[in-house]
Amino acid sequence: MTTATITVHRRSSGLRGAVAAEWTKLWTVRSSWLNIVAAVLLTGLLALQFGFSTAYDNETLAPEEVPARLPELSAVGGVAVSAMTIVQVVVAAFAMLLVTSEYSTGSIRSTLQWTPVRRNVVLAKAVVLAPVLFLYGLLLGLVASIVGGLAMGQWADWDLATLVADLLAVATYATLAGLFTAGIAFIIRSTAGTLTAAFLFLIVIPMMLTQSSIRALVWLGALLPGGAGQNFLSGATDTLSPTLSFLVLITWAAAGLLAGTTILNRRDA
């Protein structure tokens, strides 16, 4: 007499399976694609504005202005940097939706059932988002540089080394700002609330503080993610160097993800 043996294969709930699931979630919803299309269009329009403005400023100098301000070529990568200071909110929304959409639909419960180790949920989203955000920032930087450079015409500086450095800076900032936003999305959970917080931390508060006449407030603004990002992108050495600003950005991204993991472990879905 023989005994039949039945082997049950349980679906993996570890990090590898979680990463595969998050990758599928990201690209099977329309919001991700709509976000990319909107960001590319907005970037192109901003680049046109920046490019035409640069060309106009150089071509319409009054005779008395020429000795004080000679026309000069402008690096096309600078258009990408300028555009990212505005489009970064759209990039943050892209990263945020991978988290907040699950809370709004209630699918976060299914996610946590399939991945019971909750830190793996946050880690999987970060692993998926990091390379995607980098390529996203690179795409937007290329669009801005090409469109802006063509709009500038003869005043465009297409130096390859400078362009590559600017594009890498834009892509790096997009990655770190997006990861920070994804982290705080686990804390706030709502789309509107997270987007508001990202807008405040990345643009509004740093801009207000860095324009203050009080040095302590300027320093505080430079230590916020938006202020550090601006210094990093522009290469400014005032307050913080680009290297220190980069370290501040890494700290904010890591802190956001760590705080999100802590809240996810303590709260019910």
Q: What is the mean pLDDT of the chain?
A: 89
Q: What range defines the domain where residue 54 resides?
A: 15-266
Chain segment 19-52, per-residue pLDDT in tens: 999 999 999 989 999 999 999 999 999 999 999 9
> Does the residue 57 lie in any domain?
yes
The tally of domains found in the chain comes to: 1
Scan for tokens 């040095």, then name that residue: 215
pLDDT over 70 percentage in the chain: 90
Distance between CA atoms of residues 62 and 68, nearest Å: 11
> Does the residue 109 lie in any domain?
yes
Q: Is 63 helix (H, G, I), strand (E, B) or coil?
A: helix
> Does the residue 7 lie in any domain?
no
Distances (CA, A) of 26 to 124, 132, 171: 12, 10, 19
Chain segment 146-182, per-residue pLDDT in tens: 999 999 999 999 999 999 999 999 999 999 999 999 9
> Does the residue 64 lie in any domain?
yes
Scan for tokens 């959409």, then name that residue: 101
Ranking 6-15, 98-107, 248-257 by mean pLDDT, the lowest is 6-15
> Does the residue 1 lie in any domain?
no
* CA angle centred on 64, ends 63 and 67, rounded to 5°: 95
> Does the residue 4 lie in any domain?
no
Distances (CA, A) of 14 to 23, 36, 96, 116, 215: 15, 30, 23, 8, 48
Distance between CA atoms of residues 31 and 91, nearest Å: 12
Question: What's the pLDDT score for residue 8?
Answer: 35
pLDDT higher than 70, residue 16? yes
Q: Is 208 helix (H, G, I), strand (E, B) or coil?
A: helix
Question: What's the pLDDT score for residue 235?
Answer: 87
- Pull the structure tokens for residue 231: 């210094």
**Per-residue DSSP letter, 157:** E
pLDDT higher than 90, residue 194? yes
> Does the residue 5 lie in any domain?
no
> Does the residue 113 lie in any domain?
yes
Chain segment 126-137, per-residue pLDDT in tens: 999 999 999 999
